[in-house]
Chains A and B, each alone.
Chain A
């Protein structure tokens, strides 16, 4: 049986040499970072570059960064579904997978950062719900649950399809398809579940990054104690999330030859969203720093100058370049807004957003309020290795997912062809008076 969407099934049944080579390389990086982590547990956090007063480093930076990336998925796919954007159909699945994988990686980072990971269960045994860290534990767990369910439920019809085709791992697909047969009732139940989830997942996603910002803004430290941190972090998260989604889409389009599904128009629309988020991000950054400079509270100014002209100037201005200058220039002009251009802009945004997290976390710690010597933070090989390990887990996880499940929602694309077309026409009729003759 040759289906119309055979192209999407292909990666599940055919695996090339490139896949194995990449997997081995990634596994090697992961094994190396695991080795470094075991060393860290054995010798203590002394193997990292952290110290007093810079008590938090790469791990917390990467924690905020990875959780930020995870907002790509669920939030974007939920918003697009909710707003009935028809062009969402080939991209929702890809977005949701990013969330599930990156959230698992990001959620591990605070544990990596612990001095006593063996006492992790103290959080449950003697946890204090008054602590912002516990808010994080709560909201990240909720988000992980919601987003994996939200990834899984819309996947059921596609899993059923793979089950019906037979072949490898039939027992797994039979189990995961939950007896879905595509009857009217099944479809109705499925759609209702998706509708409930997509509404539920949006406030959870917003809460997650708000609460992460609270870790910083609930303290009295200058540079952190800011009321706009909640929305600022959420905006940054969606911003980096869209960029990560674009990178993944462009990569898989190339490797799996999905040009038929991921068309120029999808990149144009997402590129426009990225441009909007870039401008909103700049607006928040501008407000944050202008109020600090204008109010000129000495400790606040000390930290701002540390970022503007001090040791962190190179990171700060690279951040502005990567998050604002390059994406705005690339995405505003039709000439540059090609798929290559969008790819470059997305890459700079991901780098820029990582720098943003670095610029938020470290300078406030490096400049204590008292007249102590300024702190220096130089990450060691351990921290770099674990960073590389985290990224490798993401890539490998994504690759493996694409070998078991279709990364484009087949039934949704099909639904778009049949029902979506009609529905949109009717919808447009309902928007406007007398569009047709009747």
Chain B
């Protein structure tokens, strides 16, 4: 367990000393969200209707950007090999990597989304549900994306390949995440959507670290 905490602390410390990576992800999210009103016009009713989908897709793409580099630096400088050879179960170490990735790249999106939702004229309730759906959904994106990041480790064209592999698997999260906010707007209540998101989180939290560890072993063989 202490290896897990040590790895998590190490990644957070490294990101703190070199914050450019995290900041680029955050700014990407803002830029994407700002592009849509420019594309569809400033009419408030339209923006309110589009907001959940736009913000969710923006968060999804921003997460994808950061996923590429999840294992890349460690692979490049040899620390990933040491993790495989350390005697600590690789699944635990992967949990630490995914957790660090979410804290650095997922959590800022969760905190920023309500602010961007205001730009789209979402109501207070909707902003709350949006933040909650992202809070539950972004860890799922990190978990699923980690498998793709491990499989495409070291490959040329890795970023696009990662997106191709992982975006179809993101569809359920997107459907239920954006759907939660839309259901609220339609007066149906977001409870069902959020419960299903929780279920997806539990499933991916249990299955992904193991699958990701296998993918890392395959990539390093």
To the question of whether A and B form a pair in one complex, the answer is: no
A residues adjacent to B (C-beta < 8 A): none
